[in-house]
């Protein structure tokens, strides 16, 4: 840090020759202040706090702890958070800079927010300053934020809607929560699709609001918020509903976050980062679709919003409800595995809530006997035709966007490989581009093979665009709507597509996982599933869990109203146990089998993991860094932790960087945490090329 200079020289006195007053030493002046040292957390990758002096002429008090402050750091200014006031510093006072300004435009961040971020910094092995600053809206991290516009005029709240009559299962679930009384309780609400889980959330929110408390409602994706936001607003008009997600403009996000901090937002509805929203009167936390991988941050501060939500509820002494039709196996083990201590209370909704609505019939089409043509079996095409005749909607599900996964030359063997990644460029025929779905590189579709000049280059495999084209040729009279990341790049486009679906302006939907969860389409009675087999035998041991959840969710879109639903799955393996459990809608049986496999193999949740990843222009450098990390001498002092050999990642090259990983594992979470705390410090001392980057991820989802 730059020194604050103090010079005991006489100033110029002018013509009157008056005696100059000596400048008092800084250390003497500071000794009269109660807390002269200001300890600040900054969003930098250093595992320490930074000491500054109080701003000239100001005396800070404990009420300033939790406020933002602008400070000099290196050659520029940064915004940090005041975490403590101290009487002394390890550095001499003459080496400390003064705080440039204490920002008092907002109330101080509350103590429970400090406890939450401190735990996350410790558990996820991230510098405290990075945790704290990353949870703040971008506008509040700026040194010179632009003038925020005046808040928009409040839109007219939708007309209040009466609560529907509860089913017997819903009444029993609510009674169980009420019987437990106040305080921390964790509930796993396992409800089949359409069983009324949202109504449970709303009834519990109603109780919390009536008690003068606020509610935090988390959803995995922004695309799920419009429908839920409208439903919450209609049930609680004028209650201060606030949204927090990444598609909000910076000024709107800062306003909404401020409303939460000041207690004006009684219901906060948001995606994963909203789990850190400061809420002084928090009384209930709900995590909808708790199994969804979107709750895990995969870059920067790598944390699980679901797990943080449970921790926050425990710290605040309030209930937390995790809801899903296909709970994560970790949550299921916490609630229903007889070999694991019951940490969560299981609440079950086994029937659909709408009178007369039944779970869809799931049928398997043996693709070995009935060869698909243009991706579609005759049985699936016939089922779609029936729905067209009856004026009902069909959904064709394929979790692969684009026209085809690869473009190839059958003459010389050339394929459309990404030159920056170990992956293919995907053909997007609609706009004539080849795109890498990993690094974002794109180029025009070549007219001929770049290697041999053959003009007959062919697409191989299928994506949603190719299915859309095949259906348009087969059913020219049908209104076909494709819903994926290419057709719905913004929330506005997504809402327009939803409006068309609800208005009945589409007969056949072709979509990816965007359509798999959280949506009610009353006229949708058929779901056709293509390309699911690829996940059955994937190298990732989590793949079956993800596939079952995905198929269960997309199947749940069919027959949610009075019209019966049907699900047709095209597969080469119709006898596979996963499809058999899906046909029975038997998540408990599937979960029990998967947990037993994991117990025998020593996989989570029966062991705990951390992954050290490194990437560099040369694979040899990444492997060498990980090898040095594995050879760290004190590792022998942690016999309960196993370090595996460094290996290339499955996608070994991305964006011109070679990538490798090293797995650390232990049956004891405390033992792993103790090891990681020491290991993380040691990693920073390993000599490596400046081009190498590394990060440590606790509880990784991707292996």
pLDDT-wise least confident of 120-124, 127-131, 454-458, 516-520? 516-520
Q: State whether the Cα torsion 291-295-298-302 is positive or negative.
A: negative
E strand residue ranges, 74-193: 76-86, 101-103, 186-191
Sequence-distant (6+) residues with CB within 8 A of 532 are 547, 551, 569, 570, 571
Statement: residue 576 has pLDDT above 60: yes
Q: Summarize pLDDT for 401-438 with one digit per residue, the tens.
A: 999 999 999 999 999 999 999 999 999 988 899 999 99
Residue 29 pLDDT:
46
Coil, helix or strand for 141? Answer: helix
pTM above 0.85, yes or no: yes
Main-chain phi, psi angles of 303, to 5 degrees? -140, 160
Residue 21 pLDDT:
42
182 is written with which tokens? 């106040």
Residue 315 CA to residue 176 CA, distance in Å, equals 22
Residue 8 pLDDT:
33
Which domains are seen in the chain, by residue range? 26-141 (3.40.1440.60), 168-349 (3.40.50.300), 361-401+463-598 (3.40.50.300), 608-698 (3.30.70.600)
- Taking alpha carbons only, the member of 691, 684, 690 closest to residue 127 is 684
Residue 149 pLDDT:
57
pLDDT-wise least confident of 25-39, 99-113, 367-381, 548-562? 25-39
Q: Summarize pLDDT for 150-190 with one digit per residue, the tens.
A: 455 444 586 677 888 999 999 999 999 999 999 999 999 99
443 is written with which tokens? 């180029």
Cα angle value 343/176/323 (rounded, 5°): 60
| Mean pLDDT on 534-542 | 88
Q: Provide the total of helices (H) and of strands (E) in the chain, helices listed first.
A: 18, 28
Residue 162 pLDDT:
80
Statement: residue 477 has pLDDT above 60: yes
In which band, very low, low, confident or very high, does the pLDDT at 34 lie, cut at 50, 70 and 90? low
Q: Summarize pLDDT for 625-666 with one digit per residue, the tens.
A: 999 999 987 767 888 999 999 999 999 999 999 999 999 999
- Taking alpha carbons only, the member of 513, 590, 549, 591 closest to residue 331 is 591
Which residues, listed in sequence order, are joined to residue 41 by a DSSP beta bridge? Answer: 81
């Amino acid at each position: 840090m730059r020194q604050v200079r103090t010079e005991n020289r006489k100033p110029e006195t002018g013509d009157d020759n008056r005696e100059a007053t000596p400048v008092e030493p800084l250390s003497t002046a500071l000794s009269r202040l109660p807390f002269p040292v200001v300890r600040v957390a900054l969003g930098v990758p250093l595992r320490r706090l930074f000491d500054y002096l109080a701003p000239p002429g100001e005396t800070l008090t404990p009420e300033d702890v939790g406020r933002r402050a602008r400070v000099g750091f290196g050659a520029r200014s940064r915004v940090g958070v005041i975490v403590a006031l101290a009487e002394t510093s390890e550095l001499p006072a003459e080496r400390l800079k003064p705080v440039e300004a204490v920002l008092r435009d907002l109330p101080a961040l509350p103590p429970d927010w400090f406890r939450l971020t401190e735990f996350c910094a410790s558990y996820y092995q991230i510098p405290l300053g990075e945790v704290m600053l990353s949870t703040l809206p971008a506008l509040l991290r700026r040194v010179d934020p632009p003038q925020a516009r005046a808040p928009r005029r409040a839109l007219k709240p939708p007309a209040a809607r009466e609560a529907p009559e509860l089913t017997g299962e819903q009444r029993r679930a609510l009674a169980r929560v009420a019987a437990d009384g106040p305080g921390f309780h964790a509930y796993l609400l396992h409800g089949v699709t359409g069983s009324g889980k949202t109504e449970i959330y709303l009834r519990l929110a109603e109780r919390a609001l009536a008690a003068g408390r606020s509610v935090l409602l988390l959803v995995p994706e922004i695309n799920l918020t419009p429908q839920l936001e409208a439903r919450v607003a209609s049930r609680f008009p004028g209650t201060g509903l606030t949204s927090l997600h990444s598609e909000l403009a910076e000024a709107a996000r800062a306003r909404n976050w401020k409303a939460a901090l000041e207690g004006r937002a009684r219901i906060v509805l948001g995606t994963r980062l909203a789990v850190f929203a400061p809420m002084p009167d928090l009384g209930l936390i709900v995590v909808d679709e708790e199994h969804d991988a979107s709750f895990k941050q995969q870059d920067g501060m790598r944390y699980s919003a679901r797990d943080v939500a449970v921790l926050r509820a425990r710290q605040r002494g309030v209930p937390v409800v995790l809801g899903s039709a296909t709970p994560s196996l970790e949550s299921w083990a916490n609630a229903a595995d007889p070999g694991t201590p019951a940490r969560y209370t299981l609440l079950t909704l086994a029937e659909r809530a709408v009178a007369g609505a039944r779970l869809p019939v799931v049928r398997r089409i043996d693709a070995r006997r009935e060869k698909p043509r243009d991706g579609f079996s005759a049985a699936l095409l016939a089922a779609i035709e029936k729905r067209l005749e009856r004026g009902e909607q069909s959904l064709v599900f394929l979790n692969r966007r684009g026209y085809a996964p690869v473009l190839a030359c059958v003459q010389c063997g050339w394929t459309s490989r990404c030159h920056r990644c170990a992956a293919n460029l995907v053909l997007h025929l609609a706009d004539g581009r080849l795109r890498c779905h990993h690094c974002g590189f794109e180029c025009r579709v070549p007219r001929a093979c770049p290697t041999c000049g053959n003009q007959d280059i062919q697409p191989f495999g299928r994506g949603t665009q190719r299915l859309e084209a095949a259906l348009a040729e087969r059913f020219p009279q049908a209104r076909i709507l494709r819903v994926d990341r290419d057709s719905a790049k913004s929330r506005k486009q997504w809402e327009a597509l939803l409006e068309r679906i609800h208005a009945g302006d589409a007969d056949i939907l072709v979509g990816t996982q965007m359509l798999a969860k959280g949506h009610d389409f009353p006229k949708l009675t058929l779901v056709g599933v293509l390309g699911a087999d690829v996940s059955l035998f994937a190298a990732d041991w989590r793949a079956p869990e993800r596939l079952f959840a995905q198929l269960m969710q997309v199947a749940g879109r069919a027959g949610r109203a009075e019209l019966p639903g049907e699900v047709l799955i095209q597969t080469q393996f119709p006898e596979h146990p996963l499809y058999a459990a899906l046909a029975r809608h038997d998540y408990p049986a599937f979960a029990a089998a998967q947990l037993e496999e994991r117990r025998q193999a020593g996989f989570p949740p029966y062991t705990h993991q951390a992954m050290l990843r490194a990437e560099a222009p040369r694979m040899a450098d990444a492997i060498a860094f990980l090898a040095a990390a594995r050879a760290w001498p004190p590792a022998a002092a942690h016999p309960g932790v196993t370090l595996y050999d460094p290996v290339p990642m499955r996608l070994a090259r991305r964006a011109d960087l070679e990538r490798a990983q090293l797995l650390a594992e232990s049956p004891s979470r405390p033992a792993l945490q103790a090891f990681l705390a020491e290991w993380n410090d040691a990693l920073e001392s390993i000599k490596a090329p400046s081009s190498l980057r590394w990060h440590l991820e606790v509880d990784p989802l991707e292996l």
